[in-house]
Amino acid sequence: MNTFDYNWQTYDKVEIYGKCWLPKKDTEIKGVLCLVHGFGEHIQRYHHVAEFFTNQGFGFIAYDQRGHGKTSGKRGVVPSYEDVLENVTEFLSLVKEKFQDIPLILYGHSMGGNIAMTYILNYPDAPIKGAIITSPWLRLAKSPPQWQENIGKFIGGLFKGFVMPSKLDPSHLSTDLNVGKEYMKDPLVHNKISTPLYFGVKESGGMCLKTAKDLKVNTLLMHGDDDHITSYNASRNFTLKAPAEQLKFVSWKGMRHELHNETKKEEVLNKMLDFVEDLI
């Protein structure tokens, strides 16, 4: 496996950090998975996923979102949700320029699943062959009380850069409890979210559920039915409204939020592999 780091500067001068994983030299690249990661985390947590796909002849490329990982800026802070979506456009343009004749698959997890789903619903002609969405934040499994949201919105309106802490329970990430322990020790992980990001994700999740019938991109949607972070039922509702010819839904019994870090992650990754190989 070959890897390289890269950077790009967004239209509003934010320095974005990214990483690319490629198969061994002289191996034909079948396709490239383009990752949009989840809230509070970073792309290095997907190294084993990248390794799996490079061993199968695929490239894997990702970037740390604004306010995350090695990308510049205050943790958890974005100017607006629209800026987050614009970064996906910039990302895919860069990847397409690098891999011009190779199929691209957009892969979004959790908050990244929300962003990826919003993106394909709004930009069905994006330069991708299909999308993989895992455990998307269409709704939270348990929403904060309304009074707390009201206070957050009020203070966020007064102070630019105001952040609210998440109350994520690390044991909810995976039935492999070591995943949560490593998450808590990770210096690049954080639990801060700005009000524009929180309410942007919340509103876009609701809009995804309303516009599921408009899905035109071939999509694999997967969710564990024991997810206590994002709503499994919201993913099920999306499935019931989306065109069956465009969407494949896989429910994972007894699994939690990070399917790619579950005890049966090999089964999860192989299901993803089957999907992308059918696409190309």
The reported pTM is 0.94
Q: How many domains does the chain have?
A: 1
How does residue 165 score in pLDDT terms, banded at 50, 70 and 90?
A: confident
Interatomic CA distance for residues 28 and 64, integer angstroms: 27
Q: Residue 150: what pLDDT?
A: 56
CATH of the domain at 275: 3.40.50.1820
What percent of the chain has a predicted confidence (pLDDT) above 90? 84
Domain encompassing residue 142: 2-279
Burial of 76 per CB tally in 10 Å (0-12, 13-18, 19+)? buried
Q: 18-41: per-residue pLDDT in tens?
A: 999 999 877 789 999 999 999 999
Q: Is 233 helix (H, G, I), strand (E, B) or coil?
A: helix
